A and B are shown apart, each in its own frame.
Chain A
């Protein structure tokens, strides 16, 4: 099956710094990737849909200037948490679909645990 690689798996940073998370599709081209946020023992909340070569589509309530998404190539999407604060601490997960194969299921990265001190 398709593989999605996400890095880093965990990061600790000081309040006010920016953190970049990478999501790569290793063996397929992903024109669309999805970024989710998950709090402990809760569900995944869709943050935004990342579209290759165009602007991301953000869900209601998600600050686009806070969570910058770049999808510069067919295999890479990045999420940058700008000026991170403790309330941004969370588990961030990316996923992608292999639309070229008509595959409707989502392939997930292993997630990034962000802790902001």
Chain B
């Protein structure tokens, strides 16, 4: 079955600690994204990657870092510089982000990050 997996489902971060959220897809999609969802707000784009070894900052990239060494993997690191990390993090992928009609994005189940 093709899809996107995210792990872990819940993650706890101590103050000053970096944590990494995993995102893997087997849909053979070129583009991958990371979003953050806070209560009462829409999904906000953190980082996106259109192709392997390339990624771009989204609207709220400060305090986060990513890598795209493999097509199927796009891990997100929440660094200690992110002062308000508690949120629901969603990873998504699409065939091609630069298509004319806004390619449909497929989402993973999400990771909820909580600060201890």
Co-complex (A, B): no
Residues of A within 8 A of B (CB): none
